[in-house]
Amino acid sequence: MIHYFISLTALFLIQFSLVANAQEEADKDKTSSPNFIDDIKPILRAHCLKCHGDDKQEAGLNLQSYGSLLRGGSSGKVVEAGRSSQSVLFQAITNPDDDARMPPNSPTIAKSKIEQIRKWIDSGLLETASSKSMVKARNLTFKPSVSTDGKLDGPPAMPTKLPAIDFLKLTRPFPVLSMDASPTAPLIAVADQDQVRFFHTKTEQEIGRVAFPEGIPQVIRFSRDGVVLMVAGGRPVESGRVVLFDVNSGKRLAEVGDEIDAVLAADLSPNQQFVALGGSGRVVKVYSMTEGTLLYKLTKHTDWITAIAFSPDGKKLATADRAGGLHLWDPESGGILLNLEEHKAAVRALDWRNDSRLLASAGEDGRIVWWDTNDGFPAINKSNAHPPQRVQGTYGTIPNGVLAARFDAKGRLVTSGRDRMVRVWDVDGGEIEKFKLEKGIPLSVILPISANDPVSGDSAGNVIFWKK
C-alpha cells in the first residue's frame, strides 16, 4: 500500500488539473488512444460496412467515413465522446440479446476489437493519431473554503443542553444506518433505534442522545451551520417523517411529511427553506419549511427513492432511485435539469463537493461516479470501486455494492462497501487510504472536520473511529 503524506496546509493549496477521461482505469488507456483511420475503420469494414456503408445505409447510418459516423443514423447520434456506455454503437455490438446484437445473425465481434472501440469512444473519438480528443479537458480544480459553511455568530453548536431520555432495551445493537458530522463542531450524530446518538470526535465518547420516537433514523444531516439536525426515517410500511432538531437543546423544531412508509432519503436545503424526502412511494416530495406545505412532487423516478441531496449553493437538487436512475432538478421550480445515466443498479448514496460543481454517486453496481454537474459528464468513473474478494472455487456474483459516499471539506471522498472496506479517495479519484472492517458491513461513513481519518458505522452497530 502506498501512503501519501500530504500536510494539511499543502492540501489547501493544491491546484490540480485533470484532463478528464470518463473511462474506467483511466491511466491504462492514456498511453495509446486508438483513432478512427488506423484502428477503428478496419473493424467497421470487417463487420459493419456491408449494411452501414456507402453502398447501403440501413437505418440511415453510414459508418464509412468519420464525418458520417459522427452524424449518426435516422435515430440520432451513435457515439457519445467519452461515454461508451451511453453510445448506441457500443451498446449495439455488446447487446447480450442474440437477436438484438449487431452484426445480426453473427457471433459477437472479438473482445479485443470491442475493447478498441470502447477505448476509442472513451478517449474522445480521435480521427487520426494526431487529432485532438473530443472529450474536453476539464479543470476540476478545487479550492476548499471554510467560509462557505456560514459565518458563525458564536461558538459552534454542541449538544450541551439535551434532556435526559430513556435508553431503550435492545436485543442487540441497531445497525448504524446513517451518520453525519457537524460542519462546524467536533461532533458526529449517529442513527440508533428510535434515537440519535452524539459523539465527540476528539474524545470519541458518546455525549448525548435525542429521542426519535418515529422509529428508525434512515438519514441524518446537519445544517450547513451545524445548528440544526435533520433526522428522517420511520417505521417500515407504517409511517415516515422528517424531523428537525436544535442541536444544542435537542428541541424539535419542525416535523415534515406524513408518509405511509419509512422515509428512505431526505435532505435539508442549505438555506433551510426546503426539505426534500422520498421512499418506497417512488415520488420525491419537496416541502417549504417557511410555510410547512408541500411545494411540489417529482414523479420521474421508476423505483424507490434511495438518495437525495441539495447542492451546497442551493441551486440544484440531486435524487436517485433503486433502479439506478439519477436526476438533477431545479429546487425552486421542480424542473428537471439533467438525467445522469450510468448506474445499472440501486444508487445508495449522493453527496456534493462543497463547491457545488461535483456530485458523487455510488451504488450497488459497485460504481462511484464524480459527476461534473455543469454538463452532466462523469468526470471520474470508477467501476468495481469496492471489489469483492473471490475465494478459489466460488462462483456467481458476489455483491460489491458501494453503500455510502461522503465528501469532506477538502474535497476528498470517503466510501464504504459490501467488501467491508472503508476507502478514502483523493480529489483526482485516486485511492489514498483504506480500512478493513473485521465484522459486519460498513453502512455509513464520514470524514469529520479537521480529522484525517474516517468514522464508520456498521451492521453490527459499531461506530469505529479509524486510525491510520
Partner 1 sequence: MFCCTLNSDLLAEDVSFQRDVMPILFRAGCNSGTCHGAARGKDGFHLSLFGYDPKGDYFRICEEIIGRRINIARPEQSLLLRKATGRVPHTGGKLFDSESDYYTTLLRWIEEGGLNDSGPVPEVVGLKLSTDSFVFNQAGEQNSIRVTAIASDGSQRDVTTLARFHSNNASVVDIREDGRLTATGPGDSNVFARFNRFTAGAEVIVLPSAENFTWPDPPVVNYIDELVFNRLQKLRIAPSPLCDDETFLRRITLDLAGRSPTVDEYHAFVSDQSVKKREQKIDSLLADDAFADLWTALWAEQLRIMGGNYAPVGTHIKAADTFYEWIRTQLRNDRPLNDFVSEMVSASGSNLINGPANTYTMLVHGPRFEPKAFAADFSQVFLGIQIQCAECHNHPFDRWTMDDYYSFVSFFSGIKRKPGVEPREQRIYYDTTMPPARHLVDGRPMPARTLGANEPLDYTGDPRQQLADWLTSADNEMFSRNLANRIWAQLLGRGVIEPVDDVRVSNPPTNEPLLRALSEHLVDSDFNLRSLVREICNSRVYQLSSQPNDSNRLDTRQFSHAKLRRLRADVLMDSVVTVTGVPRNFSGFPTGTRAIDVYPRLSGDTGGPQFGDQFFETFGRSSRATVCACETRTEPTLSQTLHLAVGDTLRSRLGAGGLINELLASSKTPETMIGELFVLALNRKPTPEELSSMQALLATAENDHSVYEDILWGLLNSTEFAFNH
The reply to whether 467 sits near partner 1 by the rule CB under 8 A is: no
The reply to whether 322 sits near partner 1 by the rule CB under 8 A is: yes
Shortest distance (Å) from residue 441 CB to partner 1: 7
Could you tell me if 29 and 123 are in contact, meaning their C-beta atoms sit under 8 angstroms apart?
yes
How far is Cα 434 from Cα 424, in angstroms, rounded to an integer?
Answer: 6
How far CA 466 is from CA of 17, 135, 164, 223, 451, in Å, comes to 30, 38, 29, 25, 10
Amino acid (1-letter code) at residue 198 = F
Pick the closest to residue 201 from 145, 250, 231, 158 (CA basis): 158
Phi and psi angles of residue 27, each rounded to the nearest 5 degrees, phi first: -60, -40
- Which residues inside 284-313 make contact with partner 1, applying CB under 8 A? 303-304
Could you tell me if 49 and 58 are in contact, meaning their C-beta atoms sit under 8 angstroms apart?
no
How far CA 283 is from CA of 36, 101, 215, 288, 324, in Å, comes to 44, 35, 21, 16, 15
Nearest CB to partner 1, comparing residues 73 and 279: 279
Shortest distance (Å) from residue 322 CB to partner 1: 8
Shortest distance (Å) from residue 72 CB to partner 1: 31
The reply to whether 459 sits near partner 1 by the rule CB under 8 A is: yes
Shortest distance (Å) from residue 463 CB to partner 1: 14
User: Residues binding partner 1: what is the number (CB under 8 A)?
Assistant: 32
How far is Cα 395 from Cα 29, in angstroms, rounded to an integer?
Answer: 30
Q: Which of 48, 78, 262, 379 lies at the binding interface for partner 1 (CB under 8 A)?
A: 262
Q: Which helix (H) or strand (E) holds 307?
A: strand 305-310
The reply to whether 170 sits near partner 1 by the rule CB under 8 A is: yes
Shortest distance (Å) from residue 442 CB to partner 1: 11
Could you tell me if 180 and 186 are in contact, meaning their C-beta atoms sit under 8 angstroms apart?
no
Q: Which of 105, 112, 290, 333 lies at the binding interface for partner 1 (CB under 8 A)?
A: 105
The reply to whether 279 sits near partner 1 by the rule CB under 8 A is: no
Nearest CB to partner 1, comparing residues 178 and 184: 178
Beta bridge partners of 424: 414, 433
Shortest distance (Å) from residue 440 CB to partner 1: 9
SS3 state at 70: helix
The reply to whether 175 sits near partner 1 by the rule CB under 8 A is: yes
Q: Cis omega before residue 103 (within 30°)?
A: yes
Shortest distance (Å) from residue 190 CB to partner 1: 13
Which three cell numbers, joined as nine digits, stand for 49?
Answer: 460496412
Other beta carbons within 10 angstroms of residue 221's beta carbon come to 23
Q: What is the dihedral of CA 98, 99, 103, 108, to 10 degrees?
A: 0
The reply to whether 174 sits near partner 1 by the rule CB under 8 A is: yes
Nearest CB to partner 1, comparing residues 305 and 318: 305
Ordered alpha helix ranges (H), 25-110: 26-30, 41-47, 66-71, 88-94
Stretch that binds partner 1, among 49-57, 251-259, 328-336, 392-400 (CB under 8 A): 392-400
Shortest distance (Å) from residue 279 CB to partner 1: 11
Could you tell me if 167 and 54 are in contact, meaning their C-beta atoms sit under 8 angstroms apart?
no
Nearest CB to partner 1, comparing residues 118 and 322: 322
Q: Which of 76, 96, 213, 396 lies at the binding interface for partner 1 (CB under 8 A)?
A: 396
Stretch that binds partner 1, among 89-97, 154-162, 233-241, 427-435 (CB under 8 A): 233-241
Which three cell numbers, joined as nine digits, stand for 189?
Answer: 450524530
Cβ neighbours of residue 110 closer than 8 Å, sequence gap 6 or more:
none
- Which residues inside 404-443 make contact with partner 1, applying CB under 8 A? 418, 441, 443
- Which residues inside 190-229 make contact with partner 1, applying CB under 8 A? 192-193, 215-216
Q: Which helix (H) or strand (E) holds 120?
A: helix 111-122
The reply to whether 283 sits near partner 1 by the rule CB under 8 A is: no
Nearest CB to partner 1, comparing residues 216 and 414: 216
Nearest CB to partner 1, comparing residues 403 and 424: 403
Phi and psi angles of residue 373, each rounded to the nearest 5 degrees, phi first: -80, 0
Could you tell me if 175 and 458 are in contact, meaning their C-beta atoms sit under 8 angstroms apart?
yes
Shortest distance (Å) from residue 438 CB to partner 1: 16
Q: Which of 103, 236, 314, 388 lies at the binding interface for partner 1 (CB under 8 A)?
A: 236
Q: Which of 173, 314, 388, 430 lies at the binding interface for partner 1 (CB under 8 A)?
A: 173
Which three cell numbers, joined as nine digits, stand for 435?
Answer: 480500512
Stretch that binds partner 1, among 36-44, 48-56, 156-164, 170-178 (CB under 8 A): 170-178
- Which residues inside 338-367 make contact with partner 1, applying CB under 8 A? none
Amino acid (1-letter code) at residue 449 = I
Contact set with partner 1 (CB under 8 A) = 105, 168, 170-175, 177, 192-193, 215-216, 235-238, 260, 262, 280, 303-304, 322, 394-396, 399, 418, 441, 443, 459, 461
